[in-house]
Structure 1
Amino acid sequence: MSKRTQIVVLAKRPRPGHVKTRLTPPYTPAEAAELAADALDDTLDAVAATPAAARVLALDDADGFAADGFTVLAQRGDGLDERLAWAFEDAYARRPVPVLLVGMDTPQLTPDLLARAGAALEEHDAVFGPAADGGYWLLGLRRPDPARIVGVPMSRPDTGAEQLRRLCGLSVATMPCLTDVDDAADAREVAGLAPHTRFAATLARLGAESAR
């Protein structure tokens, strides 16, 4: 991946009762927030290790939050579709180069995957990374356009299909399908795929503690 593409991470601040609520139960709200924090850190590590024109963290509560090597921006909009669209717009307004956007739900993300997506975006108008639940874990646009995102129904089995439909008329490269961490089964699957992550270590520790 060249340095002509910027990477945006769209995330929630990891606060108990605010993130990863579908992990509760079996995990407590505090434990779910700890897993979310590790997933975010793993994601930021992968982005930091990927050559990029800029690295941006778009956070729902950005007050006082800092991340080394990242520009932290406050999210705008009501629904997730609007927050996604405006994260693209705000990043592009600061630096008018292609944008790759990922969430914080795939701690198995690697610099290699991001580099492949960035290289694809140099040859296509858009890059799309489908998720196993029917959504998507990555979206890249050479030139952001809110009309391509606003109004797409979120958190549904057809979210990915509808987002792809909105990209009609563009050349689109597709990335491998990844599993988002939504519930405990997803967490175990992802930890098994990426055993050396912070996320996997915390999941293993919580499992050991609950077995005592």
Structure 2
Amino acid sequence: MSAGSLATLLVIAKEPVPGRVKTRLTPPYTPGEAAALAEAALADTLHTVLRVPARRRVLVLAGAPGPWLPPGFDVAAQRAGGLDERIAAAFGLCDRGPALLVGMDTPQLTAELVEEVGGDGHDAWFGPAADGGFWALGIAEPARAAALVRGVPMSTRDTGAIQRRRLAEAGLRVSDLPVLRDVDTAADAAEVAARCAAGSRFAATVAALARAGR
């Protein structure tokens, strides 16, 4: 990818508040521990995004920013509604493309993976998740995102397949990114931590909790 080929990088996330994030990690983790894992995953994701050339980086946030937010991001509040509406609204923040949206659930994300997007002749980029969802969605023309995303059922085993089919049926040339595993359960956390870069916040947090008997 040539430097600056991404106009906008979007990270859609929730503020890591105990009891509101990563609730499927409890048990075995406490709500506070689950929030600590969410914060580590979000911080790793944001710092990875900072390493990728882009004209603008936006955190699309449900909640308030905290000390985990590094400089270099605009912050926009998530719109109310289902996840499909929130994703569509996030792309609406982009005045030009290409734009890529990622979530906070894949702290194993690398800058090299993100750098596969943009400037390669494709119209869209799709990163499937192992649970049937997707971890990344890129659109060369963000103004088309609303029609491509709205109405896709979210948080089902078929979400990714339906979203990918929407892109193809719209006649877009789609580049498929590697499958990544979301962190939803304690087993996911252990597996993803093993794949994180050395020194990652998420892997360190998982290791610290393991030493504490979690």
TM-score (norm 2): 0.92
Q: Partners in 2 of 1:67 and 1:75 — Cα distance?
A: 19
Runs (4+) off by over 6 Å: none
Q: Which residue of 1 aligns with 2:210?
A: 207
Partner of 1:160, secondary structure, is helix
Equivalent of residue 138 in structure 2, options 137, 140, 152: 140
User: Do the aligned partners of 1:62 and 1:73 also contact (CA within 8 Å) in 2?
Assistant: no
Q: Partners in 1 of 2:102 and 2:125 — Cα distance?
A: 11
Alignment of structure 1 residues 122-201 onto 2, 5 Å? 122-144=120-142, 145=144, 146-167=146-167, 168=169, 169-194=171-196, 196=198, 197-201=200-204
Q: Which residue of 2 aligns with 1:4?
A: 5
- For 1:188-208, what per-residue CA distance to the aligned partner results, in whole angstroms no more than 9, with x for missing partners? 000011152110100110010
Partner of 1:117, secondary structure, is coil
How far is the alpha carbon of 1:23 from its aligned partner?
A: 0.3
Q: CA RMSD in A?
A: 1.5
Equivalent of residue 78 in structure 2, options 69, 75, 99: 75
Alignment of structure 1 residues 37-76 onto 2, 5 Å? 37-62=39-64, 67-76=70-79
- In structure 2, the CA distance between the partners of 1:14 and 1:86, relative to structure 1 (3 Å rule), is same
How far is the alpha carbon of 1:63 from its aligned partner?
A: 6.5
Q: Partners in 1 of 2:15 and 2:103 — Cα distance?
A: 12
User: Do the aligned partners of 2:97 and 2:139 also contact (CA within 8 Å) in 1?
Assistant: no
Partner of 1:138, secondary structure, is strand
TM-score (norm 1): 0.93
Give unmatched runs, 5+ long, in structure 2: none
User: Do the aligned partners of 2:47 and 2:70 also contact (CA within 8 Å) in 1?
Assistant: no
- In structure 2, the CA distance between the partners of 1:195 and 1:4, relative to structure 1 (3 Å rule), is closer
Partner of 1:31, secondary structure, is helix
